Structures are given as structure tokens and as C-alpha cells.
Amino acid sequence: MWADNSNFSTKSKCCLKARKQGRKGGVRERLKRRRSRPFLPELIIGNARSPNNKIDELRACTKYLNEYRCASLLCFSETWFAESASDSSFDIDNFCQKRLDRTKASNKSRGGGTCLYVNEKWCHPNNVHVKQQLCTPDLEMLTVVLRPFYLPREFAKVTVNVVYVHPKANTIAAMSTVTNHVHEQQNQSPDGVLLVTGDFNAASLKDYLLNYQQYVDMPTRGNKTRPWKHSGSL
């Protein structure tokens, strides 16, 4: 390829700035460049109690509020979605939706359900897989396995469990089921990041998952702190 240099004046050549060599380093600068891709997810957790009448507000929050727009995961319990409802009715732009609706196995006709929205800036939809959907009279549990864009090589994958235990459930049976499934997931991927979140009501994982830490330590309902989020295998 050839070009005529006669069109370039001396004045235009003097206006060209020299390109700076190198770039800033350090952990802070790397985090700025990966602002929407942290290796550990940023979560927003809530008991929706039917987002049917809140979906427009939720869409607006993910569009205009930075806390929602940059959140890696949105975890909701008590979605009250019907099995016949289509996913398009509850879609959020730039978020991948995975949900578990209450079935006849729960022996209840309404209520319940869990849902997980995954930010597509943090994890591509092709790397979001539903591993298990569990619905019993005492427990509803959605397990999703993710492989985000950036994950340290020490961690194989991220496993998220969204749990709902209704107030009148057999808490011992429900927590035993959750514990067994979490231990099975940990045995399958000892180096993975494993999160357990949701609404447990009167149940507690404190006496079951001894190596896990609860991150929510402030009152979430009146003056009581519900066990909203546990994490382990870190």
C-alpha cells in the first residue's frame, strides 16, 4: 500500500502527540478495568412476594441505578410465578433469567418459587447452566452453575443455590436436604466457589454448614437477622 505524503502539512505533523508508553498497574487499576466483571459476584437478594407488579420497577432499577446495573446476580425468593407463565413476561435487559416455579410436589397451590437473574456483562448466558431444581413440601431450591468471564484459575466455577423455606416447613428436614446437596456439590468441585442464599425463615444453616460464613449480619426483618447468604469453599 502506498500513500501520497504531499498532503500532510508541517503544521499537522507538529500537532500530533507522542503516544505514552506503558500503562498503570496495580490491583486498583485492574479492578477499574474490570468494573463489571469481578471474580466474586456482587449479589442483590430479596423476598419479592410476587414481582408481577414490580417487574417494571425492577427493569427501571437495572437501567438507571448503578447498584442494580452492575450487580452480578439478582436472587429472589417467593416469586409466585405460575408454571404456565412465559419467561418473556419477566425478562430484564442484559440479564439472563433462570427460575424454579412451585410444582404440585410441594402440596401447595400458590406462592413459593425462586428466581436468579445473571448479569450478561459478568457471565455469558452460554455459561449459565441449571444444575438442579428441587421442590418438596419443605423446601424449594434452585442450583445454577456459572463460569464468568473472569475467574481466577484457583476456582473452577461458581455454584449458586437460591433457597426458599416456607414458615411452616419442617426445618430439620429442609436443612438436612440443603446440607446434603451442598456437601455433594463441594465434593464434585472442591476448588469452586459455592454460595447458598435465599429466605430460610425460621430455619438456620449455622449448625449444619460449620465451615460456611454468613455475610448478612444486619436486621433484615424487624430486629431479626435472617440467614440470607452463606458462602464457603473460598
Half-sphere exposure of 53 (CA within 13 A, CB side): 2
Q: What is the pLDDT of residues 166-179, one digit of tens each?
A: 888 999 999 999 99
Per-residue pLDDT at 186 exceeds 60: yes
Give the Cβ contact number of residue 49 at 10 Å: 15
Per-residue pLDDT at 63 exceeds 80: yes
Place of cell 410476587: 50
Q: What is the mean pLDDT of the segment spanning 18-34?
A: 69
Q: What is the pLDDT of residue 209?
A: 86
pLDDT band at 233 (very low <50, low <70, confident <90, very high): very low
Share of residues in the chain with pLDDT > 70 (%): 81
pLDDT band at 2 (very low <50, low <70, confident <90, very high): very low
pLDDT band at 68 (very low <50, low <70, confident <90, very high): very high
Q: What is the 3-state secondary structure (H, E, C) of the chain?
A: CCCCHHHCCHHHHHHCCCCCCCCCCCHHHHHHHCCCCCCCCCEEEEECCCHHHCHHHHHHHHHHCHHHHCCCEEEEECCCCCCCCCHHHHCCCCEEEEEECCCHHHCCCCCCCEEEEEECCCCCHHHEEEEEEEECCCCEEEEEEECCCCCCCCCCCEEEEEEECCCCCCHHHHHHHHHHHHHHHHHHCCCCEEEEEEECCCCCCCCCCCCCEECCCCCCECCECCCCEEEECC
Q: What is the pTM of this model?
A: 0.81
Spatial separation of the C-alpha atoms in residues 69 and 66, rounded to whole Å: 5
Per-residue pLDDT at 59 exceeds 90: yes
pLDDT band at 218 (very low <50, low <70, confident <90, very high): low
